[in-house]
Amino acid sequence: MGQYINMLGREKIMRISKVGKTIEKYRMLEKGDRVVVAVSGGPDSVLLLHVLNELRSDFNLVLIVAHMDHGIRGVESKKEWMFVESLASQLGLPFESRSVDVPALKKAERLSTQQVARDARYKFFLDTLKKFGAQKVALGHNADDQAETVLMRLMRGAGTKGLCGIPPVRDGVFIRPLIEIERRDIECLLRRDGIEFVTDSSNKDNTYLRNRIRNTLIPILMKEYNPGIVKSLVHTSEIFRKEDEFLERLACDHFSRTRLSGDHKAVTLDISRLQESEEPIQVRVLRKAIECFSGNLKRISFKHMESIMSMLSGRSGNKSLSLPGGTLIERRYNELIVRRDAEIRSFCYSFSQLPQHVRLEEIGKDVEFKIITPGGNLRMDINPNVAFMDYDRIKFPMVIRNFEEGDRFQPMGLKGTKKLKDLFIDCKIPRSVRKQIPLLLFDGVIAWVMGLRIDHRVMVRDFTSGILKVKIF
C-alpha cells in the first residue's frame, strides 16, 4: 500500500491530511476496496464520507452509503434519512437504508437501548457488506469518542483490554479513519469547506452515561485540569493497545500449549500447565477459551474472571460456575472445561414387566434386558456397562430415572445403605454429570447405578433360577 498523502494533490492534502495519516498508520484501505460507509448525517460521518469520496479515484474505491433509522426520534429521524439519501445522490453513490424499531426490540430482548441499537446497526452493516460484496465498513468514531470510552470503562473498573478503547480496525472489516481526529477539528473542517450536516438532539440527553461524560465531565477536565485531556486519553489508549497486542501474542502461545482438546462442544485446559504462567496471562488464556467456545465475551465481567481464577486456586476437587450466555466453567480435578450449560431434564420410565429395550432420549443412551439361565459355562465379564442380577429377587414395577437428592442404596458387600451423593463423590463424578447417570430401580429399590455399582440386595446368589443381564450403551 502506497503513501496516502503523497498521492494526493495539494488541495486535497489540505482537506484530509489528518485522516489520511490515520488510514495509512493502521493500513485501513487497500486499492480496489468496496467500502460500506455508515452515515448518520452527523458531522463525523458526513466528514468521513467526504474524505473517502476524495480518496475514491486515487484508490479505486467503491463506496456504498448506509443509513439506519432506529425508530426512536420520529420526525427528526426521518429528516436525517432524507438528508443522507440526498447526500448520497449528490455524490453519485448507492444508498442502502433500513428502519428498525429499537424500542420494540428492547422490550422483547430485555437489553439496554444502546445495546439493542448497536446490535441492530452492526447487523445492518454486515448485511449491506454481504449484499454489495464489500470488504470494509467505515465508521465515524472520533478521538472524543475514544476519550469518552476510556473514561467510561475506567469508571466501571475495566482492565488493560478495556482501556484500549475503540479499536481503529476490528476483525479486518470495521475501520475508523477519524479515530485520532478531535470533534472540534472535524467541525472546523466542515465549516471551512461549507459542508452541511445534521445534529442529533439525543446527544444532549444526559440520561446516558456517555452523554454525561461528553457534556459535563470532559469539559470540566479540560477547563480545570488538562486542556489536552482528549489527546492524553487517546495516547493512553494507544499505549494500552500496543501492550495488549504483545500480551495477546503470549496468551495465544500459552493457550495452544494449555489446551488439551477443543471443539464446538467443549474446550478443555490442563490446569497444571495453565498455572505455569503469570496470573495476567492465565486470565487471558481463560478469556480465550471462553471466546473460542462461545464466540464472544459479551457480559463476561471482571468478577466472573475472578471467580474462575478462584476455582483454580484449590489443589483438587470438582467445581462449576455458570456464566452469562449459557456457558459453564467446570473444574474436574486437574482439568478446566468450558462447555454449554445444558441441564439434563429429569426423566422417569416405568414398566410393569420386563422390556427388551429402552431408549433414554434425554441422555442419548440405550438399555437392553435379557434373562439367562445359570450354567457351568456362564461367564459374567467385568464390564462397567453390564450388570448381572438375581432375577428371583427382583420385584416390579421397574423404573429407570436419574438422580434425586436423598437417594440411597446398598453397595455390593456393604451391610448398610449409603447416600448416592457420597458414591458420586468417591467416584469423582462431577455434580454437573450426575443427572446423566441413569438409575435402575425395582419396587423402589435402586438395583444398579448404571456404569458404577449394583445393589447388594440383587447380587447373583448360588441357587438362583435366573439371571437378569442389563446392558447400557
Domain spans of the chain, in order of start: 5-142+166-211, 263-340, 348-472
Q: Please, how many CA atoms are within 13 Å of residue 266, restricted to the half-sphere of its CB? A: 15
CA distances from 432 to 3, 102, 403, 422, 435 (A): 58, 38, 11, 15, 7
* C-alpha cell, 417: 445403605
**Contact between 430 and 442 (Cβ < 8 Å):** no
Q: In this structure, how many other beta carbons lie within 10 angstroms of the beta carbon of residue 344?
A: 15
Fold (CATH) for 263-340: 3.30.465
**397 prior amide bond cis, ω within 30:** yes
**Contact between 55 and 16 (Cβ < 8 Å):** yes
Unique residue bearing C-alpha cell 461367564: 379
Beta-strand pair 335-340/266-270: antiparallel
Q: In this structure, how many other beta carbons lie within 10 angstroms of the beta carbon of residue 461?
A: 10
**Contact between 457 and 444 (Cβ < 8 Å):** no
Report the C-alpha gap between 193 and 183 in whole angstroms.
16
Q: Please, how many CA atoms are within 13 Å of residue 246, restricted to the half-sphere of its CB? A: 7
**Residues ≥6 apart with Cβ < 8 Å to 321:** 304, 307, 308, 311, 328, 329, 330
* C-alpha cell, 262: 477443543
Q: What CATH number is given for 5-142+166-211 in this structure?
A: 3.40.50.620
Backbone angles phi, psi at 332, to 5 degrees: -120, 85
Q: Is the pTM of this model over 0.85?
A: no
Report the C-alpha gap between 259 and 289 in whole angstroms.
8
Backbone angles phi, psi at 363, to 5 degrees: -120, 5
Report the C-alpha gap between 149 and 166 in whole angstroms.
7
According to the CATH classification, is domain 348-472 in 3.40.50.300?
no
Strand, coil or helix: what is 472? Answer: strand
Report the C-alpha gap between 243 and 37 in whole angstroms.
30
CA distances from 149 to 173, 210, 236, 237, 305 (A): 21, 8, 12, 10, 22
Residue type, 411: P
pLDDT at position 111 is 72
Those residues of the chain that have pLDDT short of 70 are 1-16, 109-110, 262-264, 314-317, 341-344, 376-381, 432
**Residues ≥6 apart with Cβ < 8 Å to 239:** none
Longest dimension (CA), the chain: 106
* C-alpha cell, 357: 429395550
